[in-house]
Amino acid sequence: MKYEAIVMGTSLGGMDALRAILTVLPKDFLVPILVVQHLSARSDGFLAKHLNHLCKIQVKEADDKEWASPGCVYLAPPNYHLMVEKDGTLTLSVDEKINYARPSIDVLFESAADTYRDKLIGIILTGANGDGAIGLRRIKERGGLTIVQEPETAESPIMPNMAIKASKVDHVLPLDDIGQLLNRLIRRGE
């Protein structure tokens, strides 16, 4: 298989965007998906529980030193950066905020790009700041595939627009097309 992991980043409007993508994935999806959704530091885990209830694929908050396993979506816990180590384990950190956010999309994307290189798919979804643009560029520089939600379909187009300006993106797609593309890419190894 060509790809070994997927990373997604979102902010304002992210719950609906994640639901639109994750609900079309099968429970035996062949790669792990790592997600940063900007959340309040006081969030109570609702997002993971809500998405896990709606999706066929398992959705949970990531644990420190956990292996990123196929068929699971790992959400960065509130107030923790989520990173990927070279051996594929996940690490949580309370290092300083990046782009005013912890968790930061750039932190996840940059660590995943360095680990998975050309075997990574990076996706930027709706959001109201520039977090993720630099990380998506790193994924592209390391040979990974980059996807951005079409700004016109985003609740907040700022994050998709910033990502498109930061690098040459492989696919700019309406939200409803992203999950289907992932199914095709992972099933066929395109």
Q: Which residues are catalytic?
A: 11, 38, 131
- Dihedral over alpha carbons 80, 82, 88, 89 (to 10 degrees): 10
Q: Which stretch of DSSP H or E encloses residue 90?
A: strand 90-93
Q: Which stretch of DSSP H or E encloses residue 147?
A: strand 145-149
What does the alpha-carbon distance between residue 15 and residue 58 come to, in Å, rounded to a whole number?
16
* Cis peptide bond upstream of 103, omega within 30: yes
Give the number of other CB atoms < 10 A from CB of residue 16.
12
CB 125 within 8 A of CB 149: yes
Q: β-strand 90-93 against 81-84: which pairing, if any? A: antiparallel
